[in-house]
Amino acid sequence: MSTALITGIGGQDGSYLAELLLARGYRVIGLVRSTTPDRNVRIAAIRDRIELVAADLLDQSSLVVLIDTHRPAEIYNLAARASSSQLFADPVLTCEYNGLAVARLLEAIRHVDPTIRFCQASSSEMFGNATTSPQDESSPFRPRNPYGIAKLCGHWFTVNYRETHGVFACSCILFNHESPRRGAEFVTRKVSAAAARIRLGKQDRLKLGDLDARRDWGFAADYVRGMWQMLQAPTPDDYVLATGETRTVREFCRIAFRHVGLDYREYVHVDPEIVRPPEMVTLVGNAERARRALGWAPTVSFEELVRMMVDADLHQLSSVEAKS
């Protein structure tokens, strides 16, 4: 039985990855900030099949002890500060968690067992003000916010430890990926939850920013499968994971509200105060390397993803209503 360590196991990606690894016979250890149930609701269904350990990504010695104690064959670093309020309120701490923590993990691997395979969850935000589209592994990086800057720091540490120290280290450059487990602060969940709540008479309308903003949206479970596949490859590399297609927020709204029999135009309103400046070049990923080298491809379409999220929010709201 192989052992895998997942940082950020309580998040959207971590929960899907844990389920995938358990299905493949792994012993799964999750690094969390707190083991309290309310902080780990996404993994409640598999809680008795995984081991949770509290550790600090800012403490080098604790990571060495953790890795030395459990001796994982694979480490997936999915932990990150991602919410907009956190990023801009404390960019230094964002860099600590999203950038320097990667170096601490890799250094711990180098000292404890250099044969451990490592996957770093990088981000399309590293491309930032992109100069070309679509973006692939060779596209120039131009991050424009603390999150992208810190993720780029972690990405380059991953590349450096692979090239300099021979660590089997992969960086997966993830474009937007969603699911019913997406945090409520993200626009996709705002839309799916609002469609469900309005359908059930619990909300009147939804305020959003630019409805014509475009994103390359995929299904989170497809993307964590790609992470696992890259650690099974004969040699380490960096891989973009993306659908290669962009859709607008407006399209997301249209499909979500239509799924519950409503016209989004009657309920979704643009709030000029939260409209962001338009992007010069659209972020859309070219995942050809992952398709060719790993055989990876998305399995869930954009329309299926939107309907899945709305159905999950409807089910959740209806369940809460039935219990009250």
* Domain ranges across the chain: 3-177+220-241, 179-215+245-282+299-323
Residue with tokens 């609701």: 41
Q: CB of 309 within 8 A of CB of 182? A: yes
Q: What is the pLDDT of residue 37?
A: 61
Instruction: Encode pLDDT of 128-148 as tens digits.
Output: 999 999 999 999 999 999 999
How far out from the chain centre does Cα 103 lie? 19
Region 267-276: mean pLDDT is 88
Q: What is the pLDDT of residue 85?
A: 58
In degrees and rounded to multiples of 5, residue 80 shows phi and psi of -170, 155
Query: What is the mean predicted confidence (pLDDT) over 181-198?
Result: 96
Q: Tens of pLDDT along 226-241?
A: 999 999 999 999 999 9
**DSSP secondary structure of 212-238:** T-EE--EEHHHHHHHHHHHHHSSS--E
Residue 321 annotated among the catalytic residues of the structure: no
Q: Find out whether 308 and 258 touch, Cβ atoms under 8 Å.
A: no
Tell me whether residue 239 is one of the annotated catalytic residues.
Answer: no
- Which pair of structure tokens corresponds to residue 13? 């990606």
Q: Which of 147, 161, 239, 264 is catalytic?
A: 147
Q: What is the number of alpha carbons within 13 Å of residue 247 lying toward its C-beta?
A: 19
The beta strands (E) that lie in the chain are given as: 3-7, 27-32, 51-54, 74-77, 117-123, 169-174, 177-178, 206-208, 214-215, 218-219, 238-241, 247-248, 268-270
The verdict on pTM exceeding 0.85 is: yes
Lowest mean pLDDT among 83-87, 114-118, 238-242: 83-87
Residues 41, 23: Cα–Cα separation, whole Å: 20
pLDDT level of residue 61 (50, 70, 90 thresholds): very high
> How does residue 272 score in pLDDT terms, banded at 50, 70 and 90?
confident
What is the model's pLDDT at position 276?
75
pLDDT of 34 reads 65
DSSP state at residue 181: T
* Locus of tokens 């972020």: 283
Check if CATH label 3.90.25.10 holds for domain 179-215+245-282+299-323: yes
Q: Which is the catalytic residue, given 15, 122, 123, 139?
A: 123
Supply the CATH classification number for the domain 3-177+220-241. 3.40.50.720
* Rounded mean pLDDT, 30-50: 84
From 125, 171, 178, 223, the catalytic residue: 125
Structure confidence at residue 156 as a pLDDT band (50, 70, 90)? very high
| pLDDT band at residue 4 under the 50/70/90 scheme | very high
